[in-house]
Chain A
Amino acid sequence: MKEYNISKIIKWVGFILAVVVVFYFVVTFYAVNQLTDNSIASVSNRLAADADNISWTLEGVHAMMLAEVGFDTDLDKLALADEENLSIDEFAMKNRIKTMITNWSRELSFAVHYAIYFPGNGILIDDCSTNQEYDLWRSVKDEMIQMLETLEFASGWNVVSLNGEYYLLDITFNTNRYMFSYISLREVIDSIESEVYGENYYFTLIDGENNAFYNRERAADDLITVLAEDTEVVEKNLLEQKLIVKYNLTENIYLVLVMYDYNSVLNVFWMQMFFVILMLAAVILIFLILRIINNTVLRPIRLFNENVETLKNDDVYDIATHYQINELGNASKLMYNMVERIKILKINIYEKNLEQQKAQMDFLSLQIEPHFYLNCLNLIYNMAQMEQYKQIQYLLNCISKYLRYIFKNRDGLSNVREELEHVKKYLEIQKIRYGDCFEFHIDMDEKLWEFELPPLILQTFVENSIKYTINWEDDIEIRIIGKIDGEMGVMIIEDNGDGFDREILYKLDRGVDISEGKYRIGIMNAVSRLKLAFGNSAKICFYNREKGGAGIKIVFPCKKDEVN
């Protein structure tokens, strides 16, 4: 499994994030700038188009009125007519004019109203066709006629208040008639209301003296310096999100747009900023959390791991009590306790093992057949019959020493010298028993004396040799040779009997148990005891000599030296 280094990843992620954020800000700033410019341009263009449209309409209306009514010489007849006593022609003419201006008032996107007034005879022609238009006309006509008496302004469009509402009014005079064209400001502005300008905006009209005529209350605060500026975009306030744009409608009337939240892009930008900051905060928070987790969890876990690792190598466990996490601390304590208990258990098991081995040794020691003792007793009995008292004394001395050695309470191993002494005693006993039936030779390097062997090993093999070779007929020779080969001691027991049975030898070579019931236990015991005492460092080898007879070679380490 691939391993991840968290802090490295965090560093990389942080770096990439920083690059992305920087890139994001650059792009966003660029986009916001572009879009802001675009949106202002689009608003400004739209307003320019609207203003031009209105402007043209106003010019057109003025021109049309003058051309169609002002210069219509037929109408001079109406100026001379007696309103109380119209001729049918005059009546028809009046009707024609009314129909004409009524049709005009329907032609434009906002209702421009017209009226013609002949001051000479008081004939007044309106353009009304619906009840509402008559209501409106009735509300403004008297004021308009009165205005003529104190006509201050020049011909052309002006903003006037009629019956409490503002109108764009154009009064033109030609020879004998006044021509009125008037538009409710509300209508004009309604006609250019558009969602292009967003949701929070308003229009107003101002004149050359900065007087606002529409949305007066709102305009009062916003428009203070509108006229001071020459440019179309009068004010562009990013913070307040306020945009003021003005356009000329006529010589001294401006259409002004005050737009709030004009830069909806900016809102999006702020919103995004907020999200980005939120994201960064989240990333930093995650980083901090990771740090904390690293400090409080990962590192202790690593430490814990290392401790466990040393435990594996050195059998030592450091409890490392500075763990911040309770669970880990507890686990560590538990681990420590466990390790301690395991140690104790190990020692216990080891000791038990030793005890077991000892018990086995003891048991094995006791495996020595009682046959020998019975034979000895028989021998003593026979010797006593034959009154060989000297020999009996000697024999008994030997037996007692022999038995003493056997029953000697011993711990572990006995040295070769003692062992050899014991074997000599045994052989002498057997010599007494068998007489000249066999000879034995001991050739022992003295340096071997202090080597140690499991007790009675040597006797086991010698005993075995005697048991299987002595037949009262042949001259049996048993040789015991001890020497040192390097660090190892070598003990060889040879005879000149029949040698090992082939099958037995085969089995012994492969370490197969050859014991059958009580038989051949001795050899197997000796083999396992050697193994117990020296493990694999001791070797035992069974062979048949070339000249006939069996041989046993024991190679074993100098136990005594090791202890020293």
Chain B
Amino acid sequence: MMKRKRYLTVLLIGLAVGITLTGCKEARTGSDSGVEDTEESYTVVMGYIGDKQPDEEMIEAEINKILEPELNARLDLRAFSWSGYQQELQMILSGDAQLDIVPVIISHAAGYVSNDQLIDLTDLIDQYGTNIKSLLDEDFIHCPRVGDMIYGVTTMREHISWEGIIMRADILEELGYQVEDNRCSEFTSIEQLDELFARVKEAYPDMVVLASTAGSTPLFRWEVFDILTDGFGVLMDYGQSVEVVNLYETEAFVEFANRLYEWNQKGYLAKDAATTTESLQNQVKSGAAFAYFTPQKVGAVEQDELATGYDLAMSAVMGDPFTTSYSINFMTYGIADNSGDPKKAFQVFDYMYGSSKIMNLLNWGIEDVHYQVIDDEKGAITYADGVTAETTGYLLNQGWQLPNQEIAYVWEGESSDKWEVQREYVAAAERSKAFGFSYDTSVVSLQLTALNNVKYQYFDAIGSGSVNPAEVLDEFNQALYDSGLQDVIDEKQKQLDEWLANK
């Protein structure tokens, strides 16, 4: 800028004044050729949790080309960041700003409902939920409820809890374990890992054997119970028990916590296991770590192989897949009470469950702009020519959060039959006794806030084996009870009993 100014000054003094003037003629660009419908079409604002993509408007325009003739509606995407969605959503729902389709995370559902911020979807699903009804199990549709009210509709994703361990296949093989088809069937329980970890530590003394990260410690991944929305009072035995108990006093928990402490003492976990924010995959990628607990989603190994650059193998060390309300309700979409046209909003939402075009647009962008199909048969795609992860204008890659990722393309390297396999898993999964039950948290919301604070203080420390459970567990439980844990357990038990009685 300065440079140009200097040029200009001298040019004015000098002879070639005219040269500078050539740039002044500014062509008027842009035309008013946008198609304006004479009929007013309703613009449905749909929220999602994730980063806003640079080319979002292009995607919306493409989607509207489909929605306008079909439903006389337009779609406007609204991104909420993971770090701030809670406040942002609350502000929008309690204010005047338009948001029709609301992403609902399980822990906030009761709050939204008790504040009358979401509408009951029962009738809308009945009347307009053609795709939803054909795709989702009836139980799944009725699962996201507070009281009798259906507040949301879950997305097509793995509706199961099934944690496992992913390990470096090269090291496993080096130590003489069999790896086949990305699976190592030699380990079926956590106890068996003791020996493996010991051998890995022996062979690689500098290596972290079990990776952990803040908020995703090994304990966080230890899902062998029905969490009942928040984990304060759970149903043990994969939800087969109907007695609501304090997880942190159960034998299984104490045993696992002690094991984590033992592993930590033996150096299997990193010293900053509880505080690091480095992703589990990156720890393996950097060569620092050997394994991590992770959900056994279909395609998880393939995805993580891309992320880590190592051959990986998975073992199911935490039992068989099971289904709880949490699996269904963790994330759903509801319709805002202040929506200008709830019916239209729901129609658009339901339409998306059946539109592979919209699903592809939402998750992957525009064909040959953001992605290109490399295998028509498998429906596999990769970046469009000249586009990379760094330069792409659109790659949401949040399929689980979208209405129906199963009808969209899969990324290069993912198996094309993953959705079928997943459906099999979901179908085969054992259901918690409380499946379909979700308790009304609003009556104990104060206790929950206090409990969450306590949990935050202890959970990652214990979950990473950083502290000795023998010393801190009593303290932890005492703090929980002091914060009203018993109230929550009692309330849950009461509501569950009622629900079971009415079932």
Interfacial chain B residues near A84, Cβ < 8 Å: 264-265
Selected contact of A91 from candidates B2, B10, B467, CB within 8 Å: B467
Interfacial chain B residues near A27, Cβ < 8 Å: 13
Query: How far apart are A223's CB and chain B's nearest CB, in angstroms?
Result: 25
Selected contact of B472 from candidates A88, A128, A138, A268, CB within 8 Å: A88
Q: Is the CB of B13 within 8 A of A28?
A: yes
With contacts A31-B10, A91-B274, A94-B275 known, what are 13 further pairs, Cβ within 8 A? A28-B14, A85-B468, A86-B461, A86-B467, A88-B472, A88-B475, A95-B274, A124-B271, A129-B277, A130-B278, A131-B282, A198-B3, A272-B16
Q: Which residues of B from 462 to 477 have beta carbons under 8 Å from A?
A: 466-468, 471-472, 475-476
Q: Is the CB of B275 within 8 A of A268?
A: no
Q: Is the CB of B457 within 8 A of A92?
A: yes
Selected contact of A126 from candidates B272, B283, B467, CB within 8 Å: B272
- Chain B residue nearest in CB terms to A198: B3
Query: How far apart are B387's CB and chain A's nearest CB, in angstroms?
Result: 21
Instruction: Tell me if B1 is interfacial: C-beta within 8 Å of chain A.
Output: yes
Q: Is the CB of A128 within 8 A of B276?
A: yes
- Chain B residue nearest in CB terms to A99: B275
Q: Is the CB of B10 within 8 A of A35?
A: yes
A-B contact count (CB 8 A): 96
The answer to whether A95 and B11 touch (CB under 8 A), given A85-B468, A138-B288, is no
- Chain B residue nearest in CB terms to A137: B278
What sequence of 0s and 1s flags, for each residue 269-308 of chain B, a beta carbon within 8 Å of any chain A beta carbon?
0011011111100110010100000000000000000000
- Chain B residue nearest in CB terms to A194: B2
Instruction: Tell me if A135 is interfacial: C-beta within 8 Å of chain B.
Output: yes
Interfacial chain A residues near B13, Cβ < 8 Å: 27-28, 31
Interface size on B, residues (CB 8 A): 36
Instruction: Tell me if A269 is interfacial: C-beta within 8 Å of chain B.
Output: yes
Q: Is the CB of B7 within 8 A of A264?
A: yes
Q: Is the CB of B3 within 8 A of A264?
A: yes
Q: Is the CB of A135 within 8 A of B282?
A: yes
User: Whole-angstrom distance between the alpha carbons of A88 and B274 in the complex?
Assistant: 12
Q: Which residues of A from 349 to 381 have beta carbons under 8 Å from B?
A: none
User: Whole-angstrom distance between the alpha carbons of A129 and B14 in the complex?
Assistant: 56
What sequence of 0s and 1s flags, for each residue 224-261 of chain A, a beta carbon within 8 Å of any chain B beta carbon?
00000000000000000000000000000000000000
Query: How far apart are A46's CB and chain B's nearest CB, in angstroms?
Result: 9
Q: Which residues of A from 73 to 95 have beta carbons under 8 Å from B?
A: 83-88, 91-92, 94-95
What sequence of 0s and 1s flags, for each residue 127-160 of chain A, a beta carbon within 8 Å of any chain B beta carbon?
0111101110010000000000000000000000
Name B residues whose Cβ lies closer than 8 Å to a Cβ of A. Answer: 1-3, 6-7, 9-11, 13-16, 264-265, 271-272, 274-279, 282-283, 286, 288, 457-458, 461, 466-468, 471-472, 475-476
Q: Is the CB of B10 within 8 A of A42?
A: no
Q: Which residues of A from 43 to 101 have beta carbons under 8 Å from B?
A: 83-88, 91-92, 94-95, 98
Interfacial chain B residues near A460, Cβ < 8 Å: none
Please list the 10 inter-chain residue pairs (A to B) with the smallest Cβ-Cβ separation, ordered nearest first.
A134-B278, A131-B282, A91-B461, A268-B10, A129-B277, A272-B14, A31-B13, A98-B275, A88-B472, A264-B3
User: Whole-angstrom distance between the alpha carbons of A87 and B471 in the complex?
Assistant: 8
User: Whole-angstrom distance between the alpha carbons of A32 and B14 in the complex?
Assistant: 11
Interfacial chain B residues near A269, Cβ < 8 Å: 10
Instruction: Tell me if A196 is interfacial: C-beta within 8 Å of chain B.
Output: yes
The answer to whether A130 and B461 touch (CB under 8 A), given A28-B13, A32-B10, A272-B16, is no
Selected contact of B277 from candidates A130, A138, A272, CB within 8 Å: A130
User: Whole-angstrom distance between the alpha carbons of A91 and B264 in the complex?
Assistant: 14
Instruction: Tell me if A10 is interfacial: C-beta within 8 Å of chain B.
Output: no
Interfacial chain A residues near B9, Cβ < 8 Å: 31, 35
Interface size on A, residues (CB 8 A): 42
Q: Is the CB of B14 within 8 A of A268?
A: yes
Query: How far apart are A266's CB and chain B's nearest CB, in angstroms?
Result: 10
Instruction: Tell me if A562 is interfacial: C-beta within 8 Å of chain B.
Output: no
Q: Is the CB of A264 within 8 A of B6?
A: yes
Interfacial chain A residues near B475, Cβ < 8 Å: 88
Interfacial chain A residues near B471, Cβ < 8 Å: 87
Interfacial chain A residues near B271, Cβ < 8 Å: 83, 123-124
Name A residues whose Cβ lies closer than 8 Å to a Cβ of B. Answer: 24, 27-28, 31-32, 35, 38-39, 42, 83-88, 91-92, 94-95, 98, 123-126, 128-131, 133-135, 138, 195-196, 198, 264-265, 268-269, 272, 275-276
Cross-chain pairs A/B with CB under 8 angstroms, 7 sampled: A35-B9, A87-B472, A126-B272, A196-B2, A264-B6, A265-B7, A272-B10
Interfacial chain B residues near A24, Cβ < 8 Å: 14-15
Interfacial chain B residues near A198, Cβ < 8 Å: 3
User: Whole-angstrom distance between the alpha carbons of A135 and B289 in the complex?
Assistant: 13
Interfacial chain A residues near B274, Cβ < 8 Å: 91, 95
Q: Is the CB of A275 within 8 A of B10?
A: no
Query: How far apart are A271's CB and chain B's nearest CB, in angstroms?
Result: 8
Q: Is the CB of B275 within 8 A of A86?
A: no
User: Whole-angstrom distance between the alpha carbons of A86 and B6 in the complex?
Assistant: 64
Q: Is the CB of B466 within 8 A of A86?
A: yes
User: Whole-angstrom distance between the alpha carbons of A24 and B9 in the complex?
Assistant: 15
Q: Is the CB of B2 within 8 A of A42?
A: yes
The answer to whether A265 and B467 touch (CB under 8 A), given A129-B277, A272-B16, is no
Interfacial chain B residues near A86, Cβ < 8 Å: 461, 466-467
User: Whole-angstrom distance between the alpha carbons of A83 and B275 in the complex?
Assistant: 14
Q: Is the CB of B467 within 8 A of A39?
A: no
Interfacial chain B residues near A92, Cβ < 8 Å: 457, 461
The answer to whether A39 and B6 touch (CB under 8 A), given A94-B275, A134-B282, A275-B16, is yes
Query: How far apart are A90's CB and chain B's nearest CB, in angstroms?
Result: 9
Selected contact of A138 from candidates B10, B275, B286, CB within 8 Å: B286
Interfacial chain A residues near B272, Cβ < 8 Å: 98, 124-126
The answer to whether A131 and B279 touch (CB under 8 A), given A39-B6, A138-B288, A268-B10, is yes
Interfacial chain A residues near B265, Cβ < 8 Å: 84
Query: How far apart are B284's CB and chain A's nearest CB, in angstroms?
Result: 11
Interfacial chain B residues near A196, Cβ < 8 Å: 2-3
Interfacial chain B residues near A268, Cβ < 8 Å: 6-7, 10-11, 14
Query: How far apart are A41's CB and chain B's nearest CB, in angstroms?
Result: 12
Q: Is the CB of A87 within 8 A of B467?
A: yes
Interfacial chain B residues near A126, Cβ < 8 Å: 272
